[in-house]
Amino acid sequence: MIEFNDVTKVFTNKKQQVMALQNIDLHIQQGDIFGVIGYSGAGKSTLLRLVNALEIPTTGEVLVQGKNLARLSKKELRQEQKKIGMIFQHFNLLQSRNVYENIALPLELEQQSKVDIDRKVKEALAFVNLTDKAQHFPEQLSGGQKQRVGIARALVTNPELLLCDEATSALDPQTTIAILQLLKRVNKVFGITILLITHEMEVIKEICNRVAVMEEGAIIETGQVFDVFAQPKKATTKQFAQMIVRDDVPVVIHELLSANRYQGRVFHFKFLGDSTGKPIISHIAKHYEVDLTILFGNIMEIQSTFFGHLMVEIIGDDVEIAKVLQFAEQSQVNIQEVS
Ligand SMILES: Nc1ncnc2c1ncn2[C@@H]1O[C@H](COP(=O)(O)OP(=O)(O)OP(=O)(O)O)[C@@H](O)[C@H]1O
């Protein structure tokens, strides 16, 4: 659907050069909800703007449905851009037009008939559940309602691809979830591929199937959301992962260990994928001469896959504990002693 082949983008301002993107290789497939996450200045907006040819690569190529938009005539480009919808952080609604008229605007620009426009706007309003707000003006709407108008306006021309530029960053957490669920429905019901950029892990965790992590204009990790964040490799990816997975050892456990308050030894068990569904703790309790106390833990879900971690005190002699650790490792549980 979208291919970035060794793309670099350099901005030149007053003889200063900014390398906004460097050597980007990316493949977004039809039907993906693909998230790009990174801190401010990482290059996310530039990457997004290359997809609808608002920016042109300095080197390399961006293909959308096999077409290099940078090589098309103006007329051909407009034709291709019609297949790409976009929604924005600050909604970009016209204040002087009511909800109905805002959604109708792209169809008016295409000079569609009044009858067609009316039917399509009403369908879009129903889809985003705003039929009763058709005559309201943007200033009379909440942030979540404004974004739903933005989504309806983007959908009304039947795009194949939806670009979302920090679409939930101006919304509270509850409204964010509602808008993300709506985007999920857009993807499912219409089969529209979604490319979104964000600095919020919650967005990635909630709806994306694949993700790219950006830093200083480069993609530092990419893959399935679970694979990237369950075992992050780069420091920045770890920081993002920490926002949704608190797998650091609680300070209080370190303090109690320092004060020799535990009778046994303390271990950090990390369960990934298959190992989360296995009765590993009960097996240990039944088959080895040890006592187990669970000190702390949590289980997370990303894209229907679970992973979790437990802080466990094990009381027993060292030989028996070594057997426990061997069994756990065979069961693909990652274990580290906390000292
Ligand atoms: N038109 C431009 N002219 C010059 N430099 C630019 C231009 N657009 C972006 N940049 C620079 O390119 C780099 C990447 O910017 P970009 O807006 O793509 O990052 P971002 O990850 O989207 O950041 P944010 O989350 O703050 O929007 C930054 O250093 C930025 O200053």
Out of 219-233, 237-251, 252-266, least confident range: 237-251
Each residue's pLDDT tens digit, 165-193: 999 999 999 999 999 999 999 999 999 99
Selection from 76, 51, 55 nearest residue 12 by Cα: 55
Query: Which residue from 46, 58, 240 has its CB within 8 A of the most atoms of ligand 1, so it is best to mutate?
Result: 46
Residue 248: pLDDT band by 50, 70, 90 thresholds?
confident
Is the pLDDT score of 245 beyond 80?
Answer: no
Domains of the chain, by residue range, sit at 2-241, 251-338
11 lines ligand 1 (CB under 6 A): yes
- What ipTM was predicted for this assembly? 0.96
Structure confidence at residue 304 (pLDDT): 78
Query: What's 3's DSSP letter?
Result: E
Of residues 301 and 54, more confidence is placed in 54
The protein residue with its alpha carbon nearest to ligand 1, atom 13, reads: 20
With a cut of 90, say whether residue 249 has pLDDT above it.
Answer: no
The pLDDT confidence band at residue 68, using thresholds 50, 70 and 90, is very high
Domains 2-241 and 251-338 share a fold: no
Cα–Cα distance for residue pair 176/167, rounded to 1 Å: 9
pTM comes to 0.87
Distance CA 174, CA 225 (A): 22
* Residue showing tokens 């959301």: 225
Owner of token pair 């997370």: 300
Distance CA 55, CA 10 (A): 11
> Residue 250 has what DSSP assignment?
P
pLDDT at site 90: 93
Compute, in angstroms, the gap from residue 21 CA to the centroid of ligand 1.
Answer: 9
Query: Which one is the CATH code of 251-338: 3.30.70.260, 3.50.30.50, 3.30.1360.120, 3.40.50.300?
Result: 3.30.70.260
9 CB near ligand 1 (under 6 Å): no
Architecture of domain 2-241: 3-Layer(aba) Sandwich (3.40)
Q: What is the mean pLDDT of the chain?
A: 93
Q: Which atom of ligand 1 is nearest to the CA of 47?
A: 18
Q: Whose CA is nearest to atom 16 of ligand 1?
A: 43
Q: Which amino acid is at 216?
A: E
- For the cut 90, the answer to whether the pLDDT of residue 13 exceeds it is no
Residue 31 has pLDDT above 90, yes or no: yes
Is the distance from the beta carbon of residue 39 to the nearest atom of ligand 1 less than 6 Å? Answer: no
297-338: per-residue pLDDT in tens? 888 888 778 888 899 999 999 999 999 999 998 888 889 999
User: What is d(CA 107, CA 104) in angstroms, rounded to the nearest whole number?
Assistant: 5
SS3 letters for 303-321? CCEEEEEEEEEEECCHHHH
212 CB within 6 A, ligand 1: no
- Model confidence over 88-103: pLDDT tens digits? 999 999 999 999 999 9
Q: Whose CA is nearest to atom 7 of ligand 1?
A: 11
Ligand 1 nearest-atom number relative to CA 38: 21
Q: How far is it, in rounded angstroms, from Cα 204 to Cα 196?
A: 9
> What distance in Å separates the CA atoms of residue 224 and residue 150, rounded to the nearest whole number?
28
- How far is the centre of ligand 1, averaged over its atoms, from the C-alpha of 165 (Å)? 13
Round to whole Å and give the CA distance between 299 and 244: 11
Specify the residue with its C-alpha closest to ligand 1, atom 17.
45
CA–centroid distance, residue 302 to ligand 1 (Å): 30
Does residue 43 line the site of ligand 1, with CB under 6 A? Answer: yes
pLDDT at 195: 98
Dump pLDDT digits (tens) for 209-222. 999 999 999 999 99
Residue 273 has pLDDT above 80, yes or no: no
Of all residues in the chain, what percent are helix, strand and coil, respectively (each to 5)? 40, 30, 30
pLDDT at 266 over 90: yes
Q: Which atom of ligand 1 is nearest to the CA of 12?
A: 4
What's the CA-to-centroid distance between 148 and ligand 1, angstroms? 27
